[in-house]
Structure 1
Amino acid sequence: MPERAVSSRGQSSVPRWLSKYGLGAWYLIGIVLVISGIVFVTAKIELVFIAVFLALVATSVLWPIVSWLALFMPRPLATALSLFGAFGVFGGLMFYVGYSVSGEWNDLATKFSDGVDTIIDFLERGPLPWHLTRQEITDGVKDLVDKGTTYVQENAGDLASQVLSNAGTVAIIFTILALSLFIAVFFLTTGDKMWLWFLNLLPARNRENTHRAAAAGWLTFSGYARGTMIVAVSDGIFAFILLWILDIPLAAPLAVLVIIGAFIPLVGAPAAMVIAMVVALAAGGVGKAAIVGIGIALIGQFEGHVLQPLVMGKQVSLHPVVVAVGVTAGTFAVGLFGAIIAIPIISVVWAVYRTLSNPDPPMSRLPHVDEDELIAE
């Protein structure tokens, strides 16, 4: 007979296995409810969450610089210098991109026109089993333009309301950036005191474990943020060198696009590569487009096998399946921002779990299972 739990009166109650797994099921339900509540509340204050997340990213990147400067000056002054330096670097980068676009736009337009003529000639006289004449292509483009014009005329009111809505979105973006900057200033200047104040609100028996778990999560998050920044900038530099050697127009803006794409796991870098290949195709033909594609693919391999393990180490290493599922789930849940924040959040949760858990020793190999015995049972 199965072993049963014994009540205080000595009478048998439910089986022990049912009590054990039933209690575990209630624990699991409680965890799911807590996570669902967090997701629900976060969705209600999504903009505030984005601002706090951006503030944490800025804090993780600038914290080492502020701590070093604080050795020679007051910490508030070190924070101000670090923020002004970051704004200067970002502003200088944007100015250089704008200057490059304005200086190379006419040349790119000419080369793009030549590239379009080359593509049309290929469609007319190329080895394809079917051909399109220049008149057919012109008629097709004209038809698309006419349809677009008709759509704009018929939906002018809706389009105007969307423009006004986008203007409100711009105001919201500036509000989020201002809030994140405000929070980052306090994190950088008095972050350790703020955390100490929070720990003192907890019972004394829980403070050490809470601090250990939070330290592990922060180490993972800051390592991911700084590592991603270093890897993204390195990818951009390599891409700029490649495009500059091939004399591809708009090398600087395309390199910045590669930097931005590096922050979006799995899909960001390929999207930037496709755009760079299109510009190379328009400016230099199929040969240069192929070289750009191969070169950026090699940069991606160098990033994945050398830069990321070297910069981030094992503290944020996740299985590719986890990365793919996390990015997909984040994209469906929140959109593009969800794809960006999914991996750091998963990494932090995993780091906290590893710190608080006490797992049994791992197995070196899978145990042997006799299939005949399983069938007989």
Structure 2
Amino acid sequence: MSDSTGTGAGPRTTVAGRPVVRRVAGHRPRPVPAPGAPAPQWLQVLAAVSWRLLVVVAAVSLVFYATAQVQLLFVALFLALVFTAVLRPLVDLLDRVMPRGIATAIGLLAGFAFFAGLVAYVAYSVADQWSALQRQFGQGIEQITDYLEGGSLPFVIDRDQIAEWVANAQVWVQEHSGELASQAAERAGSVVEIFTGLALAIFCAVFFLARGTSMWTWFLNQLPARVRGTWQEAADAGWSTFSGYTRGIVFVALSDGLLALVFLSALQVPLAAPLAVLVFVGAFIPLIGAPLAMVVAMIVALAANGFWAAVVVGLGIAGIGQIEGHVLQPLIMGKQVSLHPVMVAVAVTAGTLTAGILGAVVAVPLVSVAWAIFSRLRTVDPPLPDEDEDPLVEHVGERGDGVPDEEGAAPARV
């Protein structure tokens, strides 16, 4: 059965119901894809990568959702690991001369004593300098008001405008007193949660310090024997990075706080000790904490000692930040946390958007641990050649005659 047409494509016939194109002189027929032909290679690769990316995104989203539902538990376990990483060297040292349980108790008491002493010192400094600070703060506000009224700024702000702003603020507080009270009640509930999480963290840290190795061995024994080596290797890389980062950042924060205390005390800035503690706390928040501490210290110096004192304080704390970034962190942490500054900035931003200040604090150590585990378990392919090298030449001796050079290099192979 055949069917001829007069179109430019040439005569067509049908065989078993399927069109067959016959070649005609001077005519190039278009290929007709067979039914059920596979998709192009590029489309198959794109589809394979896409569904794998969707699975990864879904898994990460599930982890974030589950963590948000048990945020208090996550924070408690994170703090327990921090306490363990910081106190583990002291407990291991004491374990050489006394039972492990007693060494753990002494280590935890030492950490608690340090924290309590720090809080007591800050409270004493605030109470001792509060009256002088009130007087200096009032004088500083008066100087700032005089400068706004008759300074060299392109605009003028008089006392009547300032009084109007204060009155508007008082009206706003009165109108929103109910909302402020409810927020205060919520904060009170948050305080209870904080103490609950802290108690859970200390409880877990006791067992991590005293029986951490036995607990990890028990966990490995629950896994199939063929995967225990991989889990152990990943755990070694992750814990080494996390403990190195934790101990390093604590030492760096202490150094920043001591330098800030000496610097602010030399300039006779009020509340030097609390401001130094603020610098200490800010060191735990990459990219954000140090600028915030610097701004607060500058405001106190501006209100108490004037404009130029605030400028000097800002430059001094910025210098301390430079010492931290270029001297202390490379010297103390070394290569245990090898993240590019761009990755640090992205991690801190993502953590802040996801969980606020808490996310900014935990983002960098978590990303560092994930990268350390990935780097340990991955299989690295040969690197790409440099732009100045010929990718076809593996090695060429200096003599270029196929004979090894003086350093024992292999003959040239092209």
TM over 0.5: yes
Match of 2:172 in 1: 151
> Pairwise mapping of residues 324-339 of structure 1 onto structure 2 (< 5 A)?
324-339=345-360
Match of 2:268 in 1: 247
Residue by residue over 1:230-260, the C-alpha shift from the partner in whole angstroms, topping out at 9 and shown as x without a partner, is 0001000000010011111111000000001
1:81 aligns with 2:106: yes
Between the two structures, name the one with larger relative contact order (CA 8 Å, sep ≥ 6). Answer: 1
Q: Residues of 1 paired with 2:306 and 2:204: CA distance?
A: 49
Q: Residues of 2 paired with 1:351 and 1:366: CA distance?
A: 29
Match of 2:227 in 1: 206
Match of 2:397 in 1: none
1:236 aligns with 2:266: no
Deviates more, 1:105-114 or 1:176-185: 105-114
Residue by residue over 1:22-51, the C-alpha shift from the partner in whole angstroms, topping out at 9 and shown as x without a partner, is 444443333222222111111111111011
The Cα shift of 1:143 comes to 2.5
Counterpart of 2:330, as a letter, is P
Q: Which of 299, 303, 313 is equivalent to 1:282?
A: 303
Counterpart of 2:114, as a letter, is V
Match of 2:20 in 1: none
TM normalised by structure 1 equals 0.89
1:220 aligns with 2:260: no
Structure showing greater radius of gyration is 2
Match of 2:87 in 1: 62
Q: Residues of 1 paired with 2:297 and 2:341: CA distance?
A: 26
Identity of aligned residues (%): 52
Q: Residues of 1 paired with 2:224 and 2:41: CA distance?
A: 33
Counterpart of 1:253, as a letter, is P
Structure with more of its chain in helix, by fraction: 1
The Cα shift of 1:365 comes to 3.0
Number of residues paired by the alignment? 354
Counterpart of 2:52, as a letter, is Y
Tell me the SS of whatever aligns to 2:168.
helix
The Cα shift of 1:60 comes to 0.7
1:320 aligns with 2:345: no
Q: Residues of 1 paired with 2:268 and 2:83: CA distance?
A: 35
1:128 aligns with 2:149: no
Q: Which runs of 5+ in 1 are unaligned?
A: 1-10, 369-377
Counterpart of 2:120, as a letter, is F
Q: Residues of 2 paired with 1:333 and 1:30: CA distance?
A: 21
1:191 aligns with 2:216: no
Q: Residues of 1 paired with 2:351 and 2:183: CA distance?
A: 26
Residue by residue over 1:102-127, the C-alpha shift from the partner in whole angstroms, topping out at 9 and shown as x without a partner, is 11111112222222222222223323
Q: Residues of 1 paired with 2:331 and 2:385: CA distance?
A: 26
TM normalised by structure 2 equals 0.81
Q: 1:19/1:196 Cα in 2 relative to 1: closer, same or farther (>3 Å)? A: farther
Q: Which of 30, 45, 55 is equivalent to 2:55?
A: 30
Counterpart of 1:151, as a letter, is W
Q: 1:27/1:126 Cα in 2 relative to 1: closer, same or farther (>3 Å)? A: closer
1:302 aligns with 2:302: no
Q: Residues of 2 paired with 1:192 and 1:242: CA distance?
A: 43
Match of 2:288 in 1: 267
Counterpart of 1:125, as a letter, is G
Tell me the SS of whatever aligns to 1:335.
helix
Q: Which of 90, 100, 112 is equivalent to 2:137?
A: 112
